[in-house]
Amino acid sequence: MKYKQLGKTGLLVSEICFGTMTFGAEANKNESIKMFNIAKDAGINLFDCANKYSDGEAEIILAEAIKDCRDEVIITTKAGSKVGNGINDLGTSRKHLMLELEKSLKRLNTDYIDIYFLHYFDSYTSIESSMRFFDDAIKQGKILYSGVSNWAAWQIMKSIHISKTNFLNSIDCIQPMYSLIKRQAEVEILPLANDEKLGVMSYSPIGSGVLTGKYIQNNSELDIRLNNKNYYKQRYTNEIYTQTVERFCEFAKNNNYEPAALAISWACNHPDITSSIIGARNVEQLKSNLNCLNIEMTKELRDEISALSIQPSPAHDRLEEILDEKNKLRF
């Protein structure tokens, strides 16, 4: 296992993070704790959770898993998603975040959370209010570091500016989606993270299973995410993605790679990615995904794989400026 600096925090984190979204859902308590132990034994020290996962059950199971090794591991959780029937049971208002932080601390049976994320951008709450909440929670010792998930680059940069100009603790980490079929983060988010020295924990490196190739054929009867969750269908139903997956799976087969492991290795080896989050429904799936650690992702191999998908356009849309560095002129 390789370990990388998480932005400017001084923390060293494993290049693979284990996500616990399946805890209490597809995986029962016993299976979840088995997977946690396998992940930890493989060298993973970063575990990602959220208050929303399995209606809080994921945090309760994670608490059981970490009870004998709490200070050895780095735990993240999130708030902002809808978690109840009340009209204020969502968002990033100070009231909601305060209540959810206390609930998460209790469920996780811990005095502190290493990294606390805002799960989504809340256009109804001022960024300054959310950043002041982070600053207060850090000063109280309830969280050590803060982060945002699913935010656009301008939103991230605005939060940094607000924090700096108001002498508040600024965010330390971001959590964008990133895979061979979802490369938008390459345009502005990852360059921003590099420039601001932010830790990057990317998620869905296999595109919620799409890059395994199991969705290429019609599997409408299977008990899988794309059939059970409409938003997954909306996210990944695209003919261009299908063509990319077909090319990628053929490449993996011809070169004796497991598609899932190869997709994870490709994602986590982007130079601006600190750690890529993997998940699993069971022990067998986790062990298969961990084979990504055995792949030597050379620059040549990564370039070959990258060529199988469409590189997103630059933020300024000047395609003619995508040139090799040696051909660029600086005026």
In a domain, 287, yes or no: yes
CA–CA gap between residue 178 and residue 186 (Å, rounded): 8
To 5 degrees, how large is the angle CA 10–CA 49–CA 120?
Answer: 90
Rg of the chain taking only CA atoms, in angstroms: 20
Q: What pLDDT does residue 230 have?
A: 73
Q: What is the pLDDT of residues 234-253, one digit of tens each?
A: 878 888 999 999 999 999 99
Q: So what's the pLDDT on residue 327?
A: 55
pLDDT over threshold 50, residue 40: yes
Mean pLDDT of 118-130: 97
Tell me how many domains the chain contains.
1
Half-sphere exposure of 137 (CA within 13 A, CB side): 30
Length of the chain: 331
246: helix, strand or coil? helix
DSSP string, 21-34: TTBTTTB-HHHHHH
Q: What angle do CA 194, 197, 200 make, to 5 degrees?
A: 70
Whether residue 301 is contained in a domain is answered as no
- Find all residues with CB under 8 Å of 310, minimum gap 6, and list them: 183, 240, 244
Q: Provide, rounded to the nearest whole percent, the portion of the chain with pLDDT above 90.
A: 85
Non-local (6+) Cβ contacts of 242 within 8 A are: 216
Instruction: Report if pTM > 0.75.
Output: yes
CA distance 121 to 152: 8
Which pair of tokens denotes residue 213? 């190739």
Is position 53 annotated as part of the catalytic site? yes
Q: What's the domain range around 72?
A: 3-209+268-296
Which of 224-238, 268-282, 291-305 comes out lowest in average pLDDT? 224-238
For position 331, what pLDDT does the model report?
Answer: 46
Burial 94-130 (b: 16+ CB within 10 A, else e): eebbebbbebbbebbebebbbbbbbbbbbeebebeeb
Tokens of 309: 């998908």
Mean pLDDT, the chain, rounded, equals 93
Answer whether residue 331 is part of any domain. no
Residue 239 lies in a domain: no
The one catalytic residue in 53, 178, 236, 241 is 53
148 occurs within a structural domain? yes
CATH number at residue 154: 3.20.20.100
Does residue 241 fall inside a structural domain? no
- The dihedral through the CA atoms of 252, 16, 18, 231 has a sign that is negative
The stretch 2-6 carries a mean pLDDT of: 98
Residue 162 lies in a domain: yes
For the record, the structure tokens of 267 come out as: 């994602």
Cα distances (Å, whole numbers) of residue 244 to 220, 227, 239: 20, 20, 9
Is residue 223 pLDDT above 60, yes or no?
Answer: no
pLDDT tens track for 133-178: 999 999 999 999 999 999 999 999 999 999 999 999 999 999 999 9
Measured in whole angstroms, how far is the alpha carbon of residue 74 from the centre of its chain? 14
The DSSP H or E segment spanning 45 is: none
Residue 92 lies in a domain: yes
Q: Which residue has the higher pLDDT, 76 or 213?
A: 76
Within 229-322, residue ranges assigned H as helices are: 230-236, 239-254, 259-268, 283-289, 299-306
